[in-house]
Amino acid sequence: MRDLFEKTLGDHNYDIARRKGCYPYFHELTSGQNTVVQMEGRRTIMIGSNNYLGLTSHPEVIAAGLEGLKKYGSGCSGSRFLNGTLDIHKKLESELAAFLHKEDVVTFSTGFQSNLGIISAVVGRTDYVICDKENHASIYDGCRLSFGKMLRYNHNDMADLESKLAFVPAECGALIVTDGVFSMSGEICNLPEIVRLAKKYGARVMVDDAHGLGVLGAHGRGTAEYYGLEDEVDIYMGTFSKSLASLGGYMASTRRVIDFVKHTSRPYIFSASITPASVQCARKALEILAREPERVRALNEIGDYMRFKLTEAGIQFIPSTTPIVSIYTYEDEKAYLACKYLLERGVYVNPVVSPATPVGKALIRTSYSATHKHEEIDEAVEKIKEVWKILDIK
């Protein structure tokens, strides 16, 4: 019998990166998330976080978390299905449903778990789930956990999506699943055409709005609000770990669909519920988003400002209109080195290398907060220019 652990041996990419001194993962922070953090003993401009609205350090959010901890304790000691439902879980779901203009919401312990729990519950043996090829990994794992058949269409390619819909037998159900904002590129899905095709073929539509909530739409309600299609999306999925400065995830839909998922989703039924402090932080962050929609405008202005500064500097990036700005390094090793050299200069960014991108299209992914200052962006761009010159990236 072959040793199961044989695969752990050999020379993996992470081993090579460590040897070359450019391993880019697991850097330690000694401060909370903010636009400027303390990372491994140095002041660091943070342009690699999903703290879109800048609420992780908001005093009201912190106070709400402390209140939840004091009143309810550190955990729920059980599943929502059994003893783990608190009154504040129900309040969060009710408040989020009202904000999103949906009949009901169910919450999950993480965003990743939300996609596992939703897709595996609603897609059955005789159903098809049709995915954009650049969807998040959690969507793909949710598809694998379901008993349905998965079809993938080329990224944002509506002709290819239609060909996949046409392939589905008339007696089968179909769910189109797409990221609202694609996390690696910052691109927005073509929701109007997805909705049109769904109606034409009788499919349902699910939008993963993890990077859309608090980012898109006049009130921050996400991709559907951005396009004026809030009544046309059957399922919203989202997270609390980004704009809402907490931990957990959710599904928003009709009461009937939510009730079905609550009683059939194994990841939901067999997982402990969101901790009280996390619930209260998410509730307070949602309250702040609702009362301060100007944060959404500030966030998108910062994204636009970064694109302006990069264009001015002649640095190539993926075009987008969101606060995710991915900058080409082209070669994987240069992505790793760029992260290393930038961190040494007090700027944190994230590497995106093959197979997450095509060979020769490696990136550093940058993302921004509503609370970033122009001076911080200016400083970061100067450091990027300096590193790009060292690495001879055109």
Prior bond to 358 cis, omega within 30? no
Residue 32 corresponds to which tokens in the numbers above? 């909370």
Per the annotation, the verdict on 58 as an active-site residue is no
Please tell me the distance from the alpha carbon of residue 118 to that of residue 41, in angstroms, as a whole number: 41
Alpha-carbon span 121 to 390, nearest angstrom? 51
Task: Judge contact between 187 and 318, C-beta under 8 A.
Answer: yes
Rounded Cα distance, 328 and 353, in Å: 10
244: which DSSP letter? T
C-alpha span between 343 and 302 (Å, rounded): 21
Angle at 347 between CA 14 and CA 33, to 5 degrees: 90
Task: Answer yes or no: 278 catalytic.
Answer: no
79 near 215, Cβ under 8 Å?
no
Query: Which position among 242, 284, 309, 372 bears the catalytic label?
Result: 242
CA angle 87, 92, 94 (to 5 degrees): 95
Which burial class, exposed, middle or buried, applies to 292 when counting CB atoms under 10 A from its CB (0-12, 13-18, 19+)? middle
Q: In angstroms, rounded to a whole number, what is the distance separating the alpha carbons of residues 204 and 197? A: 10
E strands along 184-311, which residues? 204-208, 235-239, 249-253
Q: Which of 109, 138, 183, 246 is catalytic?
A: 183
Q: At what angle do helices 255-264 and 111-122 cross, to 10 degrees?
A: 100
Q: Are strands 36-39 and 42-46 parallel, antiparallel or unpaired?
A: antiparallel
Distance, in Å, from the CA atom of 299 to the CA atom of 35, rounded to the nearest integer, reads 12
- Choosing from 89, 136, 164, 211, the catalytic residue is 211
Catalytic residue status for 211: yes
Regarding beta strands 350-352 and 362-367, do their DSSP bridges make them parallel or antiparallel, or are they unpaired? Answer: antiparallel
Q: Catalytic site residues? A: 183, 211, 242
